[in-house]
Amino acid sequence: MGSEGWRADLPQHGRRFVVTGASSGLGLETARVLAANGAEVVLAVRNVEKGEAVAATLTGSVDVRRLDVADLSSVREFAAEIGPVDVLVNNAGVLAVPFALTADGFETQLATNHLGHFALTNLMLPQLRDRVVAISSDSHRLAKLDLTDLNWERRPYKGFTVYTTTKLANLLFTAELQRRLTAVGSPVRSVAAHPGSTATSITGNTGNAFKTWVGSWGHKIAGMSVEKGALSSLYAATMDIPGNSFIGPDGFKEMSGWPTGVARSRAAVDPDLAKGLWERSEEMTGVTFPL
């Protein structure tokens, strides 16, 4: 069973957090709770105007910085200017969007959900004091990762299928990053979390009106509130847990409940696949492990 009734009310005074994609949904709720508990929180957002509007509704120390994780030039600029950080929460993500390429020539979901955060984490690592949190999904269990076609140039593009592979990539990244941190004796931890079924706007950009409607109402009917859904991320970001932990809800099929340690797919614990993905990610982004 999970941490029944856990409310993320641990004091965070003197700690600095970066939360990507923090202008709405789980990212905003994560930032809200951290700031309310005394943390200094950086909202890393694509739309600064929107970020500043939501920041004005939060209590505590909140800073807004521009970051488009799907654009490597934006990632490099943000990392160069951010300074020391205790915890990086890699929350920004897109789900089942229509096929498109980013300015760097990468498929949008791969770029947003994995490559951008891969680059951001490694660029920030020399100034990271405590941990990095990757936000994955239980849908990673459905994924089959083809390292020879990460950009979906050879296979038919299916939005949700691609999404699942990026969520598997988040867990492989978490494991390989922890392996590397341990190997160099770093105290920094690499952990992951997933929010179960939570009512957010992430299903709103599929490009298919019916799928968007089904996804949105399915989450609203069967899922948790954003306040409860964010608890897994907050637990992973603040509790004393081992490196490579994976936190999710403790309820039926991990759709809802209180945060606890959860299992992952066989592919997600494959060290060769994790190493291979890391090497391909370095090649694609030009960013390497800095420690």
Q: Which residues are catalytic?
A: 163
Give the integer Cα–Cα distance in Å for 125 and 86.
10
Q: What is the DSSP string of 34-59?
A: HHHTT-EEEEEES-HHHHHHHHTTS-
Element (H, E) at 275: helix 271-285
8 A C-beta contact, residue 136 and residue 167: yes
Give 187's DSSP letter. -
The single-letter code of the amino acid at 66 is R
User: Considering only CA atoms, which of 121, 89, 119, 108 is closest in space to residue 20?
Assistant: 89
DSSP assignment letter at 198:
B
Phi, psi of 192 (to 5 degrees): -140, 160
Of 10, 60, 24, 65, which is closest to residue 40 (Cα–Cα)? 60
Task: Tell me the CA distances in angstroms from 12 to 41, 143, 151, 190, one per residue in order.
Answer: 10, 36, 39, 19
Closest residue by Cα to residue 106 from 160, 137, 70, 78 = 70
Contact 163, 95 (CB under 8 A): yes
Helix axis angle, 116-124 relative to 72-81, nearest 10°? 20
**234 to each of 10, 202, 248, 260, how far by Cα in Å?**
10, 19, 11, 11
CA torsion 241-242-247-251 (nearest 10°) is -80
